[in-house]
Amino acid sequence: MNSELLLAIGKMLLVAVVVLSFVLFSVLYMIYGLRKVMGFIQARIGPNRVGPQGLLQTVADALKLLQKEDVIPEGADKWLFTIAPAIVFIPAYLVYVVMPFGDGLIARDLNIGIIYVSAITSIAVIGVIIAGWASNNKWSLLGAFRAAAQLVAYEVPMILAICIPVVFAGTLRMQGIVEAQSGYYMGFIPKWFILSGYGIPAIAAFIYLAAGLAEINHTPFDIMEAESELVAGFNVEYSGMKFALFFLEEFAASFTISAIAVTLFFGGWNPPLPFLGAQFMPAPGQHASLLWMGISLFWFLAKSIGLVVTLMWIRATWPRVRVDQLMNFGWKVLIPIGLVLLLAAGGIVAAGG
Amino acid sequence: MKRRSLPREILRTVTSLAKGLGVTFNNFWRKKVTLQYPEERWDLPKGYRGMPALPIDPKTEKTRCISCGACARVCPEQIIKLEFEVGEDKKRKLTEFTIDMSRCMFCGLCAEACPTDALVMSDVYELSSTTRDQMVMDLDDLNKAGGRWPEEPAEEKPEDEATDEQKPESGGVA
């Protein structure tokens, strides 16, 4: 019994380390990717000095941040100031527990997976508010206030949008939702939710992405760290490794939003066309082969990265919305549309479509 | 402001957002304008006014300066100092020529005033240094900055043409 327990703990640790290194590695290269994409869009080259093509730039930046002095401002609440970055980062990491990286590649396929995701991701905002409060700085506090208002407004449409694939799939399990999207209409149009359900999930995907952008405080909804108004928002007073943790969370969260959107609407790890790997899909009840795991992992990552790049593209293009516009958009547009869609989705499923 | 109907407003929002994305998408593929400075350099336009310099004339292997001091007199900043001695043949021989580049404003009046085209505006623009003393360029620096010029022999200018009036006498600093 003891050896079994040890084995289980060892397995958990292994998964934890693998996932953590995936998060760190992907964030390093997402930052590099963002700087390159934004550079190219602005007719610049972007980082190209450290390592070949600048590939080690973010590694160097991280090392620099590690060495920097860790300033705790006078008058700050030391205890809260110190734990806030951790509160922000840990949820971003914990989400990966239920991330369906591929067929069989999931740390824990919880039966309430998607509820777990939305519950965990909203914890990060508590960290943001604590950070803003503990800094004892008016800009931070304003950023935190905005974060609170924004999160309350956008959590609701996000959950409504999440509900729609759940209604169609009939399960809250992440792998169950992905499996519900496998197969092809007429042999070549993938049965992803975004392409089925009479277009209802497609609108839901739009709502999810809009709310998701607001949730991870990404352009065009980045009012909680609006540089032009609030210096840097809730993280003005942070420096060194604590600042790096906020930065890490921001990018990890943008991957999370993309990955969850892929899972819910873009077919998860299902190949987009039947001949691009779907022939290796095991029959129901059989174990996934290693090859199929690799293929499904590839498609999941490819779709997620594609969405992440789209977010970067949006970030380099659209202006920030005003606070009142943001609130109007959340409460008066997204929530009513979400409710109507949910009703329609329920009607379609009840009618047997 | 004219109010549009709701559907038109929505349509306009969506199309303008898409248009914006289109602009950045096209920009993504554009030729990059970055100049990676120490490795790549700017093509200087003709007539660029860099640091004033005294090029060596390949014909005589000497500077064409006749120590007339016109440059020193015309300089608005009064940063050009030159010393010379009068030789046997009554011709002035330049011994020292300094320009304090920390105060030069690159107006180019000195080069314009030069009767023999000895003083020219070179294309040297990397003039940073760590001390003020290093900013004072002496004859050697100015010769180096000028290089060898003009490349093909220009038509000879009579040397006596410029040895004119109001000069401080031998060894004077103009």
- Confidence check: pLDDT of B167 > 60: no
- What is residue B130's DSSP assignment? S
Q: How far is B139 from chain A (nearest CA, A)?
A: 38
Is the Cβ pair B24, A43 closer than 8 Å?
no
List the single residue in A with minimal CA-CA distance to B36: A45
In the prediction, which pLDDT does B74 show? 92
User: Least CB-CB distance to A317: which of B24, B33, B34?
Assistant: B24
In the prediction, which pLDDT does A126 show? 85
Q: How far is B43 from chain A (nearest CA, A)?
A: 19
Residues B134/B100, Cβ–Cβ less than 8 Å? no
- Confidence check: pLDDT of B163 > 60: no
In the prediction, which pLDDT does A278 show? 67
Is the Cβ pair B25, A42 closer than 8 Å?
no
To 5 degrees, how large is the angle CA A66–CA A255–CA A13? Answer: 65
Mean pLDDT computed over B84-108: 87
In the prediction, which pLDDT does A296 show? 84
State the DSSP string of A203-261: HHHHHHHHHHHHHTT-TTS-GGG-HHHHTTGGGTT--HHHHHHHHHHHHHHHHHHHHHH
The closest alpha carbon to B23, from A353, A141, A318, A270, belongs to A318
In the prediction, which pLDDT does B2 show? 65
Tell me how crowded residue A30 is: count the other CB atoms within 10 A of its CB: 23
Is the Cβ pair B21, A42 closer than 8 Å?
no
* pLDDT grade for B93, boundaries at 50, 70 and 90: confident
Task: Enumerate the β-bridge partners of residue B94.
Answer: B84
Q: Which residues of chain A have pLDDT under 70?
A: 1, 224-230, 232, 278-279, 283-285, 353
Residues B121/B50, Cβ–Cβ less than 8 Å? yes
Q: How far is B9 from chain A (nearest CA, A)?
A: 13
Mean pLDDT computed over B62-84: 89
Most confidently modeled of A158-167, B4-13, B152-161? Answer: A158-167
Q: What residues in B contact A44, CB-CB < 8 Å?
A: 32-34
Q: How far is A317 from chain B (nearest CA, A)?
A: 6
Is the Cβ pair A318, B20 closer than 8 Å?
yes
Is the Cβ pair A43, B25 closer than 8 Å?
no
> CA B105 to CA B123: how far, in whole Å?
14
Chain B interface, best mutation among A35, A36, A37, A41, by max B CB count within 10 A: A41
User: Least CB-CB distance to B20: which of A37, A40, A317?
Assistant: A317
Q: What residues in B contact A313, CB-CB < 8 Å?
A: 21, 24-25
The closest alpha carbon to B72, from B122, B106, B123, B111, belongs to B111
User: Least CB-CB distance to A316: which of B17, B24, B30?
Assistant: B24
User: Least CB-CB distance to B28: which of A41, A314, A318?
Assistant: A41
Q: How far is A307 from chain B (nearest CA, A)?
A: 14
The count of CB pairs under 8 A between chains A and B is: 32
β-strand pairing of B120-121 with B52-53? antiparallel
pLDDT digits over A24-63, tens only?
A: 888 888 889 888 888 888 888 888 888 888 888 888 888 8
- Confidence check: pLDDT of B1 > 60: no
Looking from the CA of B172 toward its CB, the CA atoms found within 13 Å total 11
Q: What residues in A contact B20, CB-CB < 8 Å?
A: 317-318
List the single residue in A with minimal CA-CA distance to B26: A41
Mean pLDDT computed over B108-137: 88
* B residues 14..73 contacting A (CB < 8 A): 17, 20-21, 23-25, 27-34, 36
Q: What is the ipTM of this complex?
A: 0.71
Q: Chain A residues with CB-CB distance to B under 8 A?
A: 37, 40-45, 313-314, 316-318
CB burial class (10 A; 0-12, 13-18, 19+) of residue B151? exposed
pLDDT digits over B136-150, tens only?
A: 888 888 888 888 777
Is the Cβ pair A313, B34 closer than 8 Å?
no
Q: How far is B34 from chain A (nearest CA, A)?
A: 5
In the prediction, which pLDDT does B170 show? 39
List the single residue in B with minimal CA-CA distance to A315: B21
List the single residue in B with minimal CA-CA distance to A46: B34
User: Least CB-CB distance to A317: which of B21, B30, B36?
Assistant: B21
Residues B138/B159, Cβ–Cβ less than 8 Å? no
* pLDDT grade for B168, boundaries at 50, 70 and 90: very low
* pLDDT grade for B162, boundaries at 50, 70 and 90: very low
Is the Cβ pair B32, A40 closer than 8 Å?
yes
- Confidence check: pLDDT of B165 > 50: no
pTM here?
0.77
Phi–psi pair at A191, nearest 5 degrees: -85, 45
List the single residue in A with minimal CA-CA distance to B10: A333
- Confidence check: pLDDT of B169 > 60: no
Is the Cβ pair B23, A317 closer than 8 Å?
yes
> CA A343 to CA A265: how far, in whole Å?
18
Tell me how crowded residue B19 is: count the other CB atoms within 10 A of its CB: 10
